[in-house]
Structure 1
Amino acid sequence: MILSVSPWRKLFAVALLGPVLISGCATLSKDECLHAQWYTIGFEDGAAGRKASYLGEHRESCAEYGVAPDFETYMSGRDAGIESYCTEHNGRAIGEAGSQYHGVCPPHLEPGFLASFQLGQSIYQLTKEIKQIEQEIEKGETELLDTRDLIEEKERKLVGENLTRDHRQKLLNEIKAMERNYGKSQSDLSRLKYRLGELDQSLRELEQY
């Protein structure tokens, strides 16, 4: 059976069969090249959302073993893999994972995929910001406890005997300064906790979609 090849695929095939470029890590091992199932490889690449140009990486990996990709078979597998990649469910999962989309979905699938992907991205960003604020709150609360301990330590020294007037005044000034910083830190923590509540609410609303 003779397979018909579309013009764009002919152009793409010519580009892939040009000079081998120096690349990084091989995408396929020697054994995978010698026993390549190009439909399966294409399907896996499509299902992973890789660009069609990724076939060029396989070509470079297999060139030293004298193996050339089966372009049409690979692309047929990739087309099938893309269909499984470009679903609304997968788009949201990819967005929530903080992964990137490389514009591989065909026109009839991209609108639904993108809408879900962007929702997932929003959830990812909110979750990331929430985690950051939670860490800031935890750090702030620890610093407050440490400051309170230092204030109490200086207060104990203040009522001790054998203090000169200058030393006592110095301790008083230090305690007042630390109490001002303590109050400011409390206010900062209150604002962080309020912001955290807002973000939590926004996240719950998004997760309902």
Structure 2
Amino acid sequence: MSKYISLFCAATILSGCQVISPKECQSTDWLSRGINDGNNGRSANILSEYIQACSEANITVDSKAWRSGYNTGIRSYCAPENGYTVGRQGLTYNGVCPNSEFLKNYNTGRSEYELEQQKQELRNEIAQLKNQLASETDREKKKTLKQDIKQLEKRLDNLHRPNISFEISL
């Protein structure tokens, strides 16, 4: 999914779309925009993009208000417990948090997200093969499809089991 988001962002940049429109530059409450950007874990570098886009429309960004809001929002975003939530939702982390607990929790949540994605891909593949099996008339092809389904179900079952290892010292 993050691959698609990256492609969308690249396409947006290449197409000349701006991060903020001239109309938004005029009407934006920069404190609120900063809070929102911080709450969403955006990089502080977005401010320079705002400044550039708005300067093209001869509008000055209230950088001080934006920074104040951003600092408020980023404190909320960087709360350690939010790291898990961000990772579990499969969201991209932009490296904006100074504390290691956020990153640790993000990595835990992200691992769980990726595991769920793997499980869903296997479920989809199994469903697709079962649909093929239902309409297949050739006996050999049915046998192969059943074997393929069994292998995928086994892989799915292995993903459900926790990976536990023990080390015993005597």
TM-score with structure 2 length normalisation?
0.76
Report what 1:98 is aligned to.
90
1:144 aligns with 2:133: yes
> What CA distance in whole angstroms lies between the structure 2 residues aligned with 1:186 and 1:79?
56
Q: Quick one: percent identity of the two aligned structures?
A: 30
Question: Does the C-alpha gap of structure 1 residues 125 and 26 become closer, same or farther in structure 2, counting only changes over 3 Å?
Answer: closer
Structure 2 unaligned runs (5+)?
1-14, 165-170
1:123 aligns with 2:85: no
8 Å Cα contact 1:95/1:121 also seen in 2 = yes
1:198 aligns with 2:158: yes
RMSD, matched Cα: 2.4
Moved over 4 A (4+): none
Q: Secondary structure at the match of 2:160?
A: helix
> What CA distance in whole angstroms lies between the structure 2 residues aligned with 1:28 and 1:88?
34
> What CA distance in whole angstroms lies between the structure 1 residues aligned with 2:152 and 2:119?
10
Structure 1 residue identity aligned to 2:43? K
Instruction: Name which one, 1 or 2, has greater alpha-carbon Rg.
Output: 1
Structure 1 unaligned runs (5+)?
1-21, 151-177
Question: Does the C-alpha gap of structure 1 residues 40 and 82 become closer, same or farther in structure 2, counting only changes over 3 Å?
Answer: same
TM-score with structure 1 length normalisation?
0.63
Report what 2:168 is aligned to.
none
1:185 aligns with 2:109: no
8 Å Cα contact 1:28/1:58 also seen in 2 = no
- How far off is 1:29 after superposition? 4.5
Report what 2:8 is aligned to.
none
1:27 to 1, 20, 31: 20
Deviation readout 1:36-72 (Å, 9 max, x if unpaired): 4322221111111111110112112322443222323
